[in-house]
Amino acid sequence: MPTMRGDAMRGLAVFISDIRNCKSREAELRRINKELTNIRQRFRADKTLDGYQKKKYVCKLLFIFLLGHDIDFGYMEAVNLLSSNKYTEKQIGYLFISVIMNSSTEMKQLIIQNIRNDLQSRNPIFINLALQCVANIGDREMAVAFTNDIPRLLISGDTLDAVKQSAALCLLRLHRTSPDSLQLNTEWTARIIHLLNDQHLGVATAAVSLIDALVKRSPDEYKGCINLAVSRLSRIVTSSYTDFQDYTYYFVPAPWLCVKLLRLLQNYPPPDDPSIRSRLNECLDTILNKAQEPLKSKKVQHSNARNAVLFEAINLIIHMDCESSLLVRACNQLGQFLQNRETNLRYLALESMCLLATSEFSHEAVKKHQETVINALKSERDVSVRQRAVDLLYAMCDRSNAQDIVQEMLTYLETADYTIREEMVLKIAILSEKYAVDYKWYLDIMLKLIRIAGDFVSEEVWYRVIQVVVNRNDVQSYAAKIAFEALQAPACHENMVKVAGYILGEYGNLIALDPRSTPLIQFDLLHSKYHLCSPTTRCLILSTYMKFVNLFPEIKHHIQDILRHDSNYRSSDVEIQQRATEYLKLSEVCSPTVLATVLEIMPPYPEKQSPLLVRLKQKKPLMESEGAVEPTSSATTTPVTVYIDDVPKLADTAQQNGLLVSLDTPESNGHYEDSTFSSMTKPATSTVQSNKKFLLKNSDIIFENELIQIGIKGETTKSSMEIELYYGNKSNFNMTNFSSNIICTGELESELRMNMEPTKATIDSRAQIKQSGTIDCLKDFRDLPKMSITFYYNNMPQKIDFSFPIYLNKYIEKATMDSNNFFLRWKNLEKSSQEFQKIFPANFPMIYDDCHQKLEGFGWSSLTGIDVNTENFCGAGIIHTTTQQIGCLYRLEPNKQAKMYRLTIRASRDGVAKRLVELLEDQF
């Protein structure tokens, strides 16, 4: 820009110099107050201030504000500068507005009008200043005001390239700060996507960032970007760096654009079109080939740029997970980085190989690097790289190498950093259980684990050991033997005392015939650890003593003496005192038969899901299931209550291949406490569970992943349903910019009416918020609304879309009638369009009470004495809409011999009967 009069603003320079020369805080305040008084007087008294003087005084106010002082005037003068035709004055005006935004509504309207004037001008410099100001402010008012102006600049053929770049980045900023307020016209979608083909690489780079953000919000709408992204990527990758002189960074052509294009493609599955997929594979193959070429420069910038493109290409290959040759090549390339001198490269290689280990095509290729990874674990200096090495060993583990990997991890655990020990303990416990071919080996590993890292063994780990022993009769004797031996160590960790105490209390009699472990020796050994333990562990040991009274009557008097001792009988700990008192009285008044009944051996635990994965995912909420953990379906972890309060409350586990536990299911919400959803996730019987959420119940969990749990409660009155949605944050980070929308499209817009309260913008860690609202049924409907959840987690945008489970049966009111009325109404509904019948096989056990419960949960009445066959079900209901009432009758006929059902429904409105049958047919 040409030099203009007053650009130096000598008065501002003098003022800044005076501030710097102040010797004290008081002197600075006096100088600032003096200047503020002078500026205020000039603004009030002199109405003929020119642009230069206004600019100078506004700059002084801005400087004072940046020093930390409040400014309560000068806003109008700054806004007046926006109307100036001089660049420097307009620039200072925009700078002031961007830094000190007045919340006054009238002032905002003036600012928006001035910005709109500049956006509509033909001066590209003024347009860029306005766009930068909008992006800097980036609030909801700006997004609403310019939701049409800025996209027009972006797609206009007359707009300069520099302005297009600024417009794209400004839209990206508004989309990030106010996604719901920025509503882009769907007619602009194709033209925005077409910017990927813009000749100016700067415009294309800015456009890719914008499209990537828009794709995460509406992937189907922007699906057309795949072809153009692949085409643009192909042209860049196959060209020489000399073809992109202005956008070549250390001999790498347009690395930032390449990385963004590769990230954009990761939002979609592999292309269906064979030609596009082939072209994309060629691009990825070319990037892998270029990574093998000698470096064109020894400067670190060259290798960084080339490796950035390479790693993003590998991420895309992992995301596609369909080309075995590319996956194996990517694994081999990453293997070369494992011994690179650069710490960052080793870290990134280990992290990417963790993902490759989850693919069936590359798992074996990853296992070839097992020795290299183990060496990295032992010799790496950087703790973060060692952490990734542990993750990779966990991911590559399978039945063929489990014992070697577990042993290496145990060996390293003795010298591992304290920051990663707890996670290593969890992973060793999971792997040793997952791949245990012999439970004796598993118990040896677990007791060694407790001995090596007892301080880092969480309750879930030693609880799990107890559950394995209780559920396996063939290892109980061995467990008692090694637990007894472990107690003999001079230094015995308290967790080891807990495990040994519990096992000996249940199965100490199995080793009592050995002269080295007689009942008295077991008792004396355990009691030698008693005074070294915490009150909680002492309570458990007291319970073990009571078990000994039942198992070994010959040492009963020894135990009674301990219970009578003042340290227990008069303990300051209420729990210890209560146990000692009650156990002593129990041993004195109860006969051996009663004692045997009260203190009988623990029954096996119900088998569902292991809590260890829950704990591991709590430590890494965004960790993908890897290696041994392949997600299939979710299950609710329910605590199992066992005797006398001090034994483990264990989440259940599922049986797999004869072993106790299956870790092939991802954790549900076993450790998500204080949730109102807890009562929702426990159906009365297992067969009443519905694969259609919220269909048969008035409350349900409708969505859940590692981060969030969404529950619903509903109560219907006629055609209106009052609902409450609960959003639970399961993670250790706050969720910000949280918003939820239930969207009705197509015919649903005229069939359902939504009226939902706004949600809070933030959900704290381990907390939940509630959203209330009503859903009115205007007329019978078939499709489901869509629910869209957006929020920021750990500064990363998240978007969740799923079908909102609101079904027609929610508006059914039970109807009662006698046999005559039922068949009279049944006969009146005899048109073919009013009846629908379906014969289908039974999906669940054919239990009368379960069927009755499902039909009533669906909303219908269950009428008795209607059908001559008492095994059949008949009933009626009325579907309420705002415009009409629809009468419905049903008849369900089970055939237990053939394990089939026949369901017949008649309704007074055409098509309704078919829809109701479709909802019910897979529930029986």
Whether 746 is covered by a domain: the verdict is yes
pLDDT given for residue 504 in this prediction:
93
Whether residues 880 and 800 share a domain: the answer is no
Domain presence at residue 278: no
Distance CA 56, CA 38 (A): 13
Whether residue 584 lies inside any domain: the answer is no
Residue 261 near residue 226 (C-beta atoms within 8 A): no
Q: Which residues are annotated as a binding site?
A: 10-11, 52, 56-60
> In this structure, is residue 516 part of a structural domain?
no
Q: What is the pLDDT of residue 219?
A: 86
Contact status, residue 499 vs residue 462, Cβ threshold 8 Å: yes
875 and 816: one domain?
Answer: yes
Distance, CA of 333 to CA of 337 (rounded, Å): 7
End-of-domain residue from the set 791, 806, 821: 806
Q: How many domains does the chain have?
A: 2
What are the angstrom distances between the C-alpha of 93 and each of 50, 76, 659?
14, 10, 72
Tell whether 786 and 821 lie within a shared domain: no
- Domain end among 775, 806, 837: 806
Nearest to 795 by CA among 730, 740, 735: 735
- Whether residues 793 and 841 fall in one domain: no
Q: What local confidence, expressed as pLDDT, does residue 614 receive? A: 63
Question: Using CA atoms in the order 53, 59, 64, 68, what is the torsion angle rounded to 10 degrees?
Answer: 160
Q: From the centroid of its chain, how far is CA 643?
A: 36
Dist CA 707 CA 690 (whole Å): 23
Neighbour-count burial for 567-581, b at 16+ CB within 10 Å, e otherwise = ebeebebeebeebbb
The whole-number mean pLDDT for each consecutive block of 10 residues of the chain, a chain of 924 residues, reads 54 90 91 90 81 88 90 86 89 89 74 90 91 88 86 87 92 86 79 89 91 88 90 86 73 90 91 90 91 86 90 91 87 89 90 88 89 88 89 90 91 87 89 87 91 86 89 90 91 91 92 91 92 91 92 90 87 90 90 86 74 62 38 30 33 30 31 33 32 79 87 88 89 85 86 87 86 89 88 82 87 85 84 86 84 86 80 88 88 85 88 88 83
CATH number at residue 754: 2.60.40.1230
Domain shared by 912 and 840, yes or no: yes
pLDDT of residue 617: 60
Question: CB neighbours of 239 closer than 8 A, spacing ≥ 6?
Answer: 253
In a domain, 707, yes or no: yes
Does residue 825 share a domain with residue 912? yes
* Nearest-angstrom CA–CA distance, 406 and 50: 78
Within a 10 A sphere around the Cβ of 256, how many other Cβ atoms?
17
Q: What is the pLDDT of residue 822?
A: 83
Final residue belonging to a domain, choices 788, 806, 824:
806
pLDDT of residue 613: 65
How far is it, in rounded angstroms, from Cα 920 to Cα 480?
A: 52
Q: Contact at 8 Å (CB) between 368 and 637?
A: no
758 lies in the same domain as 792 = yes
Question: What is the pTM for the complete model shown?
Answer: 0.62
| 725 in any annotated domain | yes
Containing structural domain, residue 764: 693-806
CATH of the domain at 908: 3.30.310.10
Same domain assignment for residues 836 and 771? no
Residues 783 and 831 occupy one common structural domain: no
Q: Within this chain, do residues 754 and 846 fall inside the same structural domain, yes or no?
A: no
Same domain as 769, residue 697: yes
Shared domain for 800 and 893, answered yes or no, is: no
